[in-house]
Amino acid sequence: MQLKKVLVCCMTASLVMAGGTQLYPVKADTARDLELRGPTSQGNQADNKDTFIPAGTTSADLGELRRKYSETFIFRGPEVKQIALTFDDGPDPRFTPQILDVLHRKGVKATFFVVGARAKKFPGLLRRMSHEGHLIGNHSYSHPNFRNRSIKQFQSEILRTEKIIQNVVGYRPQLIRPPYGEIKEEQVQWAKKNGYTLVNWNVDSQDWKGIDEKKVFSNVMSTAGPGSIILQHSGGGVGSDLTGTIQALPKIIDALQAQGYQFVDLSELLHTTKYR
């Protein structure tokens, strides 16, 4: 938590993303509090290994929302030999292409929850995700903590990102992943009323910490099972290092396929539509 606070304080409304020898500035446009920063979408493992409680949220908060809105707020899939790989916070030219390369080489489809500000900046990567058969979900425009936002701000974040995605790939995603996994009841109610599905995760790779390949592999393999939704990242803030994810990904795929698991995108795992 201390690291997270330091990172939050240090970030400004502009994000500079390094890719090789080039610099990719991501500006907030009209978003005055763009929150694309170091560690993102992270969760803490709860006592029940099938449920991860995002930082800053009590288990009672999410547990109650999960019970009350079980058709709208999803943490894992059905008990079948299928697993969904999900990647948050892209598109990011430092990491996303390498992850897409691995998935293409392995013939695996995944789900990418994209940040609107980055999708606007790097539409070519968004098109590549779609062209290669991956599912695209909505991860807000500026990556705020929705528990600190009003319902109008929540709506704006979702709808703004939705419009960008639609303009680039031609559809409005049905799936939303709230940044950090955090959300308030009135926001869940709005999502339900408007036909969205909120998707968190039950397996956290913790790759946002910049951990190495062995640790990413261990974090995933120690908790993955039938119907698992695995959280990894395809982008990050200044100084982020997802090398561990990129190196571990082919080994995770090989190991789980050897156990008889099939990799599917979230629409297939959850038996829902890809777009609204």
- The CA R_g of the chain, rounded to the nearest whole Å, is 17
Tell me the pLDDT tens digit for each residue of 29-84. Answer: 333 334 444 434 443 333 233 334 444 445 458 889 989 999 999 999 999 999 99
Q: 92, 233, 254, 265: which one is catalytic?
A: 233
Cα three-residue angle 161-141-110, rounded to 5 degrees: 70
Tell me the pLDDT tens digit for each residue of 223-254. Answer: 999 999 999 999 999 999 999 999 999 999 99
Conformation bin of residue 143: beta by default, left when phi > 0, alpha when psi is -120 to 50? left
Average pLDDT over residues 120-127: 98
Helix/strand/coil (H/E/C) assignment for every residue in 194-247: CCCEEECCCEECCHHHCCCHHHHHHHHHCCCCCCCEEEEECCCCCCCCCHHHHH
What is the structure's pLDDT at 61? 86
Fill in the amino acid letter for 65. L
For residue 14, pLDDT over 80 is answered with no
Tell me the pLDDT tens digit for each residue of 73-117. Answer: 999 999 999 999 999 999 999 999 999 999 999 999 999 999 999
18: pLDDT confidence band, cut at 50, 70 and 90?
very low
Fill in the amino acid letter for 198. L
For residue 194, pLDDT over 70 is answered with yes
> Which contiguous run of DSSP H or E holds residue 87?
strand 82-90
What is the structure's pLDDT at 56? 45
To the query of whether residue 101 is one of the catalytic residues in this protein, the response is no
Q: What is the DSSP letter of 165?
A: H
To the query of whether residue 143 is one of the catalytic residues in this protein, the response is no
